[in-house]
Chain A
Amino acid sequence: MKTLKDMLAEARQVVPEEGPDDLSRRLKDREPIVVIDVRDPDEYRDGHIEGAASISRGFLEFRIGTAVSDPSVPIVLYCQTGLRSVLAAKALKELGYQTVINLKGGFQKWAQSGLPVVKDTPLTTEQIGRYSRHFLLNQIGETGQRKLLRSKVLLIGAGGLGSPTALYLAAAGVGTIGLMDGDVVDITNLQRQVLHTTADIGKPKVESGARTLKALNPDIAVIPLPVRIDVDNVMDIIKDYDLIVDGSDNFDTRYLVNDACYLAGKTNIHGSIFQFEGMATVFAPGEGPCYRCLYPTPPPPGLVPS
């Protein structure tokens, strides 16, 4: 009869192992890998690696097909100490998954190495109802929703572009929304800036904006920033956010936001509009061009109305 030791030794012959630092680097580099936590659901809830799917060992062969449809996609498995997962990895190899890696030392070693750990608090009944349509989407699900709830997004400008973006992000449950705008609501804004109402005329845009967003979704935090973004405050403000949405209405701000986001390594979701035409792109430092690659110099003053 085989002993557990024999089985582990056999598994290790076919399953490569990597330490926490290797996995951390792969995740940082956004390699197309799937990380699966094969521990029991209560262990997963108590703390896991961000982005890891939870499929406990007992269900692995049943559910792996849904989680990973392409057998050539590399899979990293982990459990608490790396033993259950090495056996699980061998089972996946036998199913035909080409690259299955075991996290050496498991979650325990990951956490001891000081790498980030995500803890799930149970969703409230209200949250389960509110985000139920997201749970039906494979690309979001409960894991994705938790990610959104943990996310912090800064909206620069609560005007024509910022308004609809803010409404959708708040509704979708982006947990923290920083709303930045130094202006007050003017009657001429109301025809397009749907965050604000007639009663808000004369009030700071971030005040009416925050109230509208909280009314739409009380589950999120809205941080009103009633100031204009400038060279002195930009770095300090953006550092607290995962991602920046530029909905500003002038070129100076766009170049400033572009430069600050690039220097701080923050992705900038860019949009602009004029009359009936709009454009959108994403500036991701290190992954693609920036605003200066696109428009090396601003248009001469007077050429475009502001």
Chain B
Amino acid sequence: MQATETMKVLLGVGEPLIGRLLTYDALGMRFREVKLRRDPKCPLCGTSPTIKDLSIHAAGGTACAISPNGDGEPATSGAVPAARPGG
């Protein structure tokens, strides 16, 4: 799936999964799509970003544990599945 998306973006064809999260449940063999929106309060890509360089990662270990934006809710139209730890 990542390979196909990579090829589409490189070639500029089709509709890449920009703003869409595709989830795959192998046991139920079901795909689900959740629409994603940009969060205006996002500390990185929002309207008044607080992350302008990678210095928050320099502390080591707790790099991603920055203060949440606003109410901490993800900016989506539906329920976002829990983050997946594995790679």
Chain A residues at the B interface, C-beta cutoff of 8 Å: 30, 51, 139-140, 144, 147-148, 151, 153, 157, 159-162, 164-165, 167-169, 172, 174, 230-231, 234-235, 242-243, 245, 247-252, 254-256, 258-260, 262-263, 267, 269-285, 287-290, 292-299, 304-306
Contact = CB atoms under 8 A, between A and B. Distances in A.
Interface string B56-87: 11100101111011001111100011111111
A304 B7 CA distance: 31
8 contacts: A231-B57, A258-B44, A269-B6, A269-B9, A277-B23, A280-B24, A292-B51, A294-B76
Contacts of B45: 262, 285, 289-290, 292-293
Chain B interface residue bracket vs A: 35 or more
- Top 9 nearest A-B pairs by Cβ distance? A249-B87, A168-B3, A255-B64, A272-B84, A293-B39, A288-B19, A288-B18, A231-B57, A276-B26
A280 B5 contact: yes
A267 B86 CA distance: 21
A298 B64 contact: yes
B74 A295 contact: yes
Contacts of B26: 276-278
B9 A289 contact: no
B82 A259 contact: no
B63 A252 contact: yes
Contacts of B85: 249-251, 272, 274, 299, 304-306
B48 interface: no
A231 B44 CA distance: 16
Given A159-B87, A272-B83, A242 B10 contact: yes
Contact of B22 (A148, A281, A306): A281
A301 B87 CA distance: 17
B10, B23, B87: residue with the most chain A Cβ atoms closer than 10 Å: B87
Nearest to B25: A277
Contacts of A304: 82-85
Given A231-B57, A269-B5, A148 B11 contact: yes
